[in-house]
Amino acid sequence: MATSTLEEAYKENPLSLQHILPIDFQSIQEVPNSHLWPKINNVLTSHNDKNPNVPIIDLLAPNVVELMGHACKTWGIFQVVNHGVSLELFDEVEYQARRFFALPAEQKVKVVRSTSGATGYGTARITPFFSKFMWHEGFTIMDSPLDHAKKLWPHDYHKFCDVMENYQKKMKVLSFQLCLFILNYLQPSQDQHSINSFEFAGALQLNSYPCCPSPNHALGLAPHTDSLFLTILHQTNNTKGLQILKKDQGWTSIAPVSNDALIVNVGDLLHILSNGKFPSVYHRVLVDQTKHRVSLAYFFGPQVDSMISPLVSSKDNDGVVLKYRNVKVKEYLGLKAKHLEKVFSMIRF
């Protein structure tokens, strides 16, 4: 099965339980020292509700390939509308996600991610690289959450499973469509061949950012890039917390332009495939004092046995220099699990 091999990649890089199990956010009144970050808002931060220049792409536009390629090249992040996923489905997934996160800590711990596992309840995988913990809890699903859901709701697990499986199917179809457009931009005459040479896997991450007593001294997610090809993010209730580090602008808030808009960002493997043309977006998540934020992140990329080779298009001149060596997805994930953002320097020519 496709996802089992993605899980295999994480088995070889186990984490300690202290880096997996979130604190019980429902039982604390103030931010403990373990989660207290210094000077979060002392970095130059641009709060602009209108997302200046962040590309908004209508998937029905006749020039969608050019629009998406340009967005990947100049920003590494964009929003999509007319994507075919209903508002009702977003609402259903959010309802089930909140249903899960509202459970008592002793219930959620029943489905905690194992030290060498990829699915289940836990903190972000980047946790060990930082001296402070994040104000975040997550639940990772690959295909069916049946085994976990049965432990949580022995007699009432069907709806949770149906909604999560349906959402993943929709996201996989959309992700494939986006990759087709992007590969068509990179290699106009070979898009179908390029995408058919990969088998793909996906993972759904439900994110919870509880209300925080000291939001200026806590981080929902610390600065990082995503590992796979693409991440499709739905920020529920039109709330904002996502920020990207934009050259010459500092930290810039990205809020969805509408309730059904999806935010798509380039990940590391697409950065490598594009030979560095598309930036892998450095991003973080802020928290709020009065709003418990929930978001849905779908990560999509080639199977772990796939080889990622930088593409050089006929649009490039003959003198183009390859920036990265060929790398298998599994090797890349292993290197990143040990070295985080230093990983690019390890595969760069």
Expressed in angstroms, the distance from the first to the final Cα of the chain is 34
- Whole-angstrom Cα distance, residue 110 to residue 100? 12
Name the residue among 39, 38, 44, 79 with its Cα closest to residue 246.
44
What size, in residues, is the chain? 349
Burial of 216 (0-12, 13-18, 19+ CB in 10 A): middle
Catalytic residue among 98, 284, 293, 348: 293
CB of 92 closer than 8 Å to CB of 163: yes
- Whole-angstrom Cα distance, residue 296 to residue 14? 24
Name the residue among 116, 101, 119 with its Cα closest to residue 22.
101
CB of 265 closer than 8 Å to CB of 226: yes
Residue 153 CB neighbour total at 10 angstroms:
17
- Whole-angstrom Cα distance, residue 336 to residue 346? 10
Catalytic residue check, 293: yes
- Whole-angstrom Cα distance, residue 231 to residue 62? 24
User: Quick one: tokens of 246?
Assistant: 């934009």
CB of 285 closer than 8 Å to CB of 221: yes
Residue indicated by tokens 């039109």: 238
Which residues carry out catalysis? 293
